[in-house]
A and B are shown apart, each in its own frame.
Chain A
Amino acid sequence: MNIKENIKTLVIKKPLKLDCGKTINNFPLAYETYGSLNKNKDNAILVFHALTGDQFVTGINPVTKKDGWWSYAVGPNKSIDTNKYFVICANVIGGCMGSFGPSHKNPDTNKIYGTDFPVITINDMVNAQVNLLDHFEIKKLFSVVGGSMGGMQVLQFISNYPDKANTVVPIACTSNHSAQNIAFNELGRQAIASDHNWSDGKYLYNNTLPDKGLSVARMAAHITYLSKKGLQEKFGRKLQERDALKFGFDADFQIESYLRYQGSVFVDRFDANSYLYITRAMDYFDLVKQFDGNLSNAFKKTKAKFFIISFTSDWLYPTQENKDIVIALNAIGADVGFVEIKSDKGHDSFLLDVPDFLKTLKNFLDKSYSER
Chain B
Amino acid sequence: MKTEYKIIVDLIEEKTRVLDVGCDDGTLMESLKKDKNVDARGIEISKDKVQICVSKGLTVIEGNAELDLKQFPNDSFDYVVLGQTLQAFVNPEIVIKELLRVGKKAIITIPNFGHWKVRLNLLIKGTMPITESLPNDWYNTPNIHMCTIKDFVKFSKIINFKIFKSLALTNKNISNITNSNLFYKNLFAELGIFLIEK
Judged by a CB distance under 8 angstroms, whether A305 is at the interface is yes
User: Shortest CB–CB separation between residue B49 and chain A, in angstroms?
Assistant: 10
Closest to A328 in B: B71
Top 8 A-B pairs ranked by shortest CB distance? A367-B57, A338-B61, A363-B55, A327-B71, A339-B50, A330-B71, A337-B59, A339-B62
Contacts across chains A and B counted by CB atoms under 8 Å: 58
Interface residues of B (CB under 8 A from A): 17, 47, 50-51, 53-63, 71-73, 76
The reply on A359 being an interface residue by CB < 8 A is yes
Q: How far is the CA of A342 from the CA of B63 in the complex (A)?
A: 14
Please list 14 pairs of residues, one from A and one from B, whose beta carbons are closer than 8 Å in the complex, sorted by A's number: A307-B54, A330-B72, A333-B17, A336-B61, A337-B53, A339-B47, A339-B50, A340-B47, A356-B47, A360-B54, A363-B51, A363-B54, A363-B55, A367-B54
Q: Contacts A340-B47, A341-B47 known; A367 to B59 CB distance under 8 Å?
A: no
Residue pair B51, A359 in contact (C-beta under 8 Å): yes
Query: Which residues of A lie under 8 Å from residue B56 when comparing CB positions?
Result: 367
Cα distance, A130 to B56, chains bound together (Å): 31
Question: Does A326 have its Cβ within 8 Å of any Cβ on chain B?
Answer: yes
Output the least CB separation between B66 and chain A (Å). Answer: 15
A368 within 8 A of B: yes
Q: CA–CA, A222 to B73, complex, Å?
A: 40
Q: Complex: how many Å from CA A307 to CA B54? A: 9
Instruction: List A contacts of B59 (CB < 8 A).
Output: 305, 335-337
Q: With CB as the reference atom, state the residue of chain B lying closest to A367.
A: B57
Q: Known pairs A336-B61, A339-B60, A340-B62; list 20 more (Cβ under 8 Å).
A: A326-B61, A330-B76, A331-B71, A332-B73, A333-B73, A333-B76, A335-B59, A337-B53, A337-B58, A337-B60, A339-B50, A339-B54, A356-B47, A359-B55, A360-B51, A360-B54, A363-B54, A367-B54, A367-B56, A371-B57
Chain A residues close to B by CB (< 8 Å): 305, 307, 326-327, 330-333, 335-342, 356, 359-360, 363-364, 367-368, 370-371
Q: A331-B71, A333-B73 are in contact. Are A338 and B62 (CB under 8 A)?
A: yes
Q: Pick the contact of B47: A307, A336, A342 (CB < 8 A).
A: A342
**C-alpha gap A367/B58 in the complex (Å):** 9
How many angstroms from the CA of A234 to the CA of B50 in the assembled complex? 29
Given contacts A335-B59, A337-B60, is CB(A326)–CB(B51) below 8 Å? Answer: no
The CA-CA distance from A340 to B68 in the complex, in Å, is 14
What residue of chain B has the Cβ atom nearest to residue A326's Cβ?
B61
Instruction: List chain B residues, Cβ under 8 A from A359.
Output: 51, 55
Q: A156 to B105, alpha carbons, bound, how many Å? A: 36
Known contacts A330-B71, A333-B73, A333-B76, A367 near B55 by CB under 8 Å? yes
Chain A residues near B50 (CB-CB < 8 A): 339
Which of B51, B53, B57, B61 contacts A330 (CB under 8 A)?
Answer: B61
| A369, closest chain B residue (CB) | B57
Which single member of A326, A331, A363, A370 contacts B73 (CB below 8 Å)?
Answer: A331
Residues A356 and B62 in contact in the complex (CB < 8 Å), given A330-B71, A333-B76, A367-B56 = no
Q: How far is the CB of B116 from chain A (nearest CB, A)?
A: 42
- Closest A residue to B57 by CB, please name it: A367
Q: Given A326-B71, A330-B71, is A337 in contact with B55 using a C-beta cutoff of 8 Å?
A: no
Contacts of A342 in B (CB 8 A): 47
Cα-based distance from A331 to B72 in the complex (angstroms): 5
Give the distance to chain B from A363, nearest Cβ to Cβ, in Å: 4
B64 to chain A, nearest CB (A): 11
Return A308 CB to nearest CB of chain B, in Å: 8
Closest B residue, CB atoms, query A337: B59
Contacts of B61 in A (CB 8 A): 326, 330, 336-339
Identify the closest chain B residue to A359 (Cβ).
B51
Minimum CB–CB distance from B181 to chain A (whole Å) comes to 40
